Amino acid sequence: MKHLKVLSEANLLKIEKNGKFRNIHLNAIPIQMIYDRWISKYSKHWANSLTRLKYDLEGENKMEEIKQIYTLYIKTNVDKLWDALIQSKITPEWFAGMAVTFEPKVGASLTYDITGPEGNKLSLVQGKILEFDPKKKLVYTFKLTAEPKAATDRESRVSYELEPIGDSIKLTVIHDDFDDKTPTYFGTSQGWPMHLSNLKTFIETGKAMDLPKMH
């Protein structure tokens, strides 16, 4: 088990206790940050397609739990990170140009919108607030509305959990409640690592990475 300890200390694994068992999830954020820095953006499409083909042929996707867990440590304070997650003026900076809009209460509607060149708004994600604990936790349902391939996917669920640790904040993002490896699952499993590493860069440096915007 030494190799698991090494990976855990490097923040590459997220370990969840489940009774007598432990569920182990890969934390893709550090890997994504290396990818963003060193791998050509032009190779992304081919890399994703080829690895997905490998997993499908070998049946590896059937072995995995239908859940995405991402953990990152951001050198900031809880107020600044919380605002970056819930303020419509800030989310476009790190979340591919998408502005979040919702009332801070359970049951309220939530949308992630982009603004077109003529000022028109298009909702890319819609959902409802399930939990709202200011500066600690936000949980909402997640439905891709602008992606035709995901039109028949049931709503999934996203949660943000913030935990102060020293001079940093531990942010855990969990995306779960998928029926299967749906188009929503595949799309978000590629999107979250990029967006969250961009969030960390934006908060710590004041400048986001040069990544594609949604349109």
The chain-wide mean pLDDT, for the chain, equals 85
> What does the pLDDT read at residue 2?
61
Tokens 């969840």, residue? 16
Higher pLDDT among residues 210 and 197, named by residue = 197
CA distance 166 to 55: 39
Q: Does pLDDT of 22 surpass 90?
A: no
Position 25 confidence tier, pLDDT thresholds 50, 70, 90: low
Q: Does pLDDT of 40 surpass 60?
A: no
Q: pLDDT tens-digit profile of 151-176?
A: 899 999 999 999 999 999 999 999 99
Question: Alpha-carbon dihedral of residues 135, 139, 144, 146, nearest 10 degrees?
Answer: -40
What is the DSSP code (8-state) at residue 136? T
3-state secondary structure 52-114: HHHHHHHCHHHHCCCCEEEEEEECCCHHHHHHHHHCCCCHHHHCCCCEEEECCCCCCEEEEEE
Q: pLDDT tens-digit profile of 79-107?
A: 999 999 999 999 999 999 999 999 999 99
CA distance 34 to 191: 15
Q: Does pLDDT of 37 surpass 60?
A: no
Q: Does pLDDT of 16 surpass 80?
A: no
Strand pairing partners for 111? Answer: 101, 126
Position 64 confidence tier, pLDDT thresholds 50, 70, 90: low
The CATH T-level fold of domain 26-205 is Alpha-D-Glucose-1,6-Bisphosphate; Chain A, domain 4 (3.30.530)
